[in-house]
Amino acid sequence: MANDPKKSHFETDVIHAGQSPEPRTGAVMVPVFQTSTYVQDGPGGHKGYEYARTQNPTREALEASLAALENGTFAVATSSGCAATTNILHLLKAGDHVVSSDDVYGGTYRLFTRVFAQLGIDFTFVDLTSASRLDEAMRPNTKLVWLETPTNPLLKILDIEELSKRAHRRGASGALGETGATVVVDNTFLSPALQRPLELGADLVVHSTTKYLGGHSDVVGGVIVGKTKEHHEQLRYLQNAIGAVPGPWDCFLVLRGIKTLAVRMQRHDENGRALAAWLEKHPKVERVIYPGIPSHPGHAVQSRQAKGAGGMISFIIKGGLEESRRFLTTTKLFACAESLGGVESLIEHPAIMTHASIPADVRKSLGISDGLIRLSVGIEHVDDLRADLETAFAAV
């Protein structure tokens, strides 16, 4: 690669970091190494590759790219975002305690409360928009602090730098013996194009590469990015032992998507800001939740720690469940579907769809009401998106 990714700009890194031309043929794009095993000259006489669960050149290129984009020293790719979360939680043992932001992806909440809680790991869910609440929640056996910012689906903003300082200052030794608790940030909603948690003090960053990194709604994957040798060794071991690895074609698709990440995120952010400002003035909207507008309580923190607010908008429509259903079944450009981060716009109802695994009483306490609608704003022309939403409002 001509440029050192540590010295080049992000827009250059997304195209070149970890993606040098293939040395044997000169192929510009990293090839899909579709193989399950590798020939050896004799027992142990391999060329650095033994078995594709353990090593694959396409996966290695993806990991190198993502490590550079998040300004980490390593990345561990997994078969999904939930698999990435699972690998991280396997750093812990029975009796350990985790503090998690209260508003998290429904799949994360399910993993925490219905899988790992049964293995003896204790979880406390806290509204961490006030960093002092972390001090109150931490215990002598707190080993991990799990953050989402913006959170899903209420788009709360958490101060990564301040929370990381507090987590490292208090609690038990982390999963690998470092000072304080290990801080993990789910950066899926913003991607490294808009936010880099490792630079703000976090220890690990997790992504569903299904979302903005892949960007085209055609692949499922996950990744963990970190900084320390200890984390790298532990997570690489778990990647191989658990075996939830992405296939080479999945890795190729994410690499393909990453090349346009910078320009896509710029458009997602522009469209998100324009639609949020318009929705805030709409007579049929009770409340707009978007960190890029001044009315959001976390706007100042978001402006300080990120380069943009992205394309995720939540809003509460006036009325209730029936109005929400009618709205979601009327849009045309905004497709009613789970997931997010693709070039096309999506719309969903968190209480029924992405967060249905969270108990109704917990959803209610968080503010995930029947009138809450979540938009994943794509990169279409904003006038067409606005017109599509206006048509749906007219049907309510």
Among 105, 109, 212, 290, which one carries the catalytic annotation?
105
Among 13, 96, 103, 186, which one carries the catalytic annotation?
186
- Check if 53 is active-site: yes
Among 59, 196, 211, 273, which one carries the catalytic annotation?
211
AA letter at 167 = A
Tokens of 20: 């040098």
CATH number given to 10-258: 3.40.640.10
Each residue's pLDDT, cut to its tens digit, for the chain (396 residues) gives: 344 445 799 999 999 998 888 888 999 999 999 999 999 988 877 888 899 999 999 999 999 999 999 999 999 999 999 999 999 999 999 999 999 999 999 999 999 999 999 999 999 999 999 999 999 999 999 999 999 999 999 999 999 999 999 999 975 554 444 469 999 999 999 999 999 999 999 999 999 999 999 999 999 999 999 999 999 999 999 999 999 999 999 999 999 999 999 999 999 999 999 999 999 999 999 999 999 999 999 999 999 999 999 999 999 999 988 899 999 999 999 999 999 999 999 999 988 887 777 787 888 787 788 889 999 999 999 999 999 999 999 999
State the DSSP string of 86-131.
Answer: HHHHTT--TT-EEEEESS--HHHHHHIIIIIGGGT-EEEEE-TTST
Which of 95, 148, 66, 69 shows the shortest CA–CA distance to 366?
148
- Check if 186 is active-site: yes
Q: What's the confidence (pLDDT) of residue 329?
A: 95
For the chain, report the end-to-end CA distance as a whole number of angstroms: 54
- Distance from C-alpha of 286 to C-alpha of 316, rounded to nearest angstrom: 5
Q: Rg for the chain (alpha carbons), in Å?
A: 21
Give CA separation, 346 vs 101, 217, 343, 388, in Å: 25, 11, 9, 12
Q: What is the DSSP letter of 114?
A: I
Q: What's the confidence (pLDDT) of residue 136?
A: 95
Q: What's the confidence (pLDDT) of residue 394?
A: 97
CATH architecture of the domain 262-395 equals Alpha-Beta Complex (3.90)
Model-wide pTM > 0.85: yes
Q: What's the confidence (pLDDT) of residue 295?
A: 96
Q: What's the confidence (pLDDT) of residue 172?
A: 54
Count Cβ atoms below 10 Å from residue 90 Cβ, excluding itself. 17
Domain ranges within the chain, ordered by starting residue? 10-258, 262-395
Q: What's the confidence (pLDDT) of residue 2?
A: 40
State the DSSP string of 180-216.
Answer: SPEEEEE-TTTHHHH--GGGGT-SEEEEETTTTTT-S
Among 38, 49, 53, 325, which one carries the catalytic annotation?
53
Q: What's the confidence (pLDDT) of residue 241?
A: 98
Give CA separation, 374 vs 78, 272, 337, in Å: 26, 12, 10
- Check if 105 is active-site: yes
